[in-house]
Amino acid sequence: MIHYHGLPITPETAALMAIRGGHAFVSFAHFGQLGIAVEACASFALDNGAFSAWRASKPVEDWSPYYRWCEDCNRIPSCDFAVIPDVIDGDEEQNDRELEKWPLGTFGSPVWHLHESLERLDRLASDWPRVCVGSSGEYATIGTVRWWTRMSEAMGILCDDVGRPRCKIHGLRMLDTAVFTRFPFSSADSTNIGRNVGIDAKWGGYYSPPTKEARALLMRQRIESCNAPAVWGFPQVEQIGLGL
């Protein structure tokens, strides 16, 4: 599984510790460290920034700048894919219209939101080589029993009768070892390192890493020491929700 660490991470020296020789997720909402990703990463992927815009209550209305950015990045050999623009709490018709407007074919990956129908998920898995799964609506909080139940339903669509994925699956904001070790993801991302390297209160004790660079490297090693399973194992949702 590919572990994509979300940028930006500050300072830039800590960003290098997190992604050098590894993988980064570069958001169009904060693309200032794209150059670092190009120079340092084995590969990187592009996020449309819709989640950041959604949290700021400023939804994107014109995606043409993002299209041009993706077209330029697609020429970089280490660029893996781009997340197709999506309306996070929108309806299926809105999100299907975004797919119709997407100009770069299968370089893009559509997003299926957990509040959308399983029928749409089945259609996306049949039509696209990769599907991104995003938490939304009543399933916006990752890790609740309701969220685990819905993810289990989604895996029933995305995987065949022996648990093998029908397409590549990317977990949006799911680069948590308690999460991605349960699902047959091809990749997942999070901004966990970027959000935590600078919070001193979270790093106490005598053996705490002395620098942000050391913190970034430690977090990266802990995350990347775990992998996703090759197949969906149909575990009991109650056990997953309790972390057993």
For the chain, the domains span 2-241
**Residue position matching structure tokens 């029908």:** 166
CA atoms 109, 44, 19, 2: torsion sign = positive
Out of 3.30.1370.160, 2.40.50.100, 3.60.20.10, 3.20.20.105, the CATH code matching 2-241 is 3.20.20.105
| DSSP class per residue in 13-61 | HHHHHHHTTSEEEEEGGG-TTHHHHHHH-SEEEEE--HHHHHHTT----
Residue 149 confidence (pLDDT) above 50: yes
Mean pLDDT of 232-239: 62
| pLDDT tens for each residue of 98-130 | 999 999 999 999 999 999 999 999 999 999 999
| pLDDT value at residue 83 | 98
Name the percent of the chain in helix, strand, coil, to the closest 5.
45, 15, 40
- List the structure tokens of 147: 């969220």
| pLDDT value at residue 240 | 52
| pLDDT value at residue 244 | 42
- List the structure tokens of 177: 């070892």
3-state class of 5 per DSSP? Answer: strand
Mean pLDDT of 56-65: 84
Q: Above pLDDT 90, what percent of the chain?
A: 83
CA-nearest of 193, 168, 83 to 134 is 83
Q: Give me the phi and psi of 130, to 5 degrees please.
A: -145, 140
Choose the weakest-confidence range: 20-24, 55-59, 165-169. Answer: 55-59
Q: Above pLDDT 70, what percent of the chain?
A: 95
User: Is there a contact between 84 and 109 (Cβ–Cβ < 8 Å)?
Assistant: yes
Residue 237 confidence (pLDDT) above 60: no
| pLDDT tens for each residue of 154-194 | 999 999 999 999 999 999 999 999 999 999 999 999 999 99
| pLDDT value at residue 53 | 73
Q: Report the side by side order of strands in the sheet with 108-109.
A: 108-109, 79-83, 43-47, 23-27, 2-7, 187-190, 168-171, 130-134, 111-113
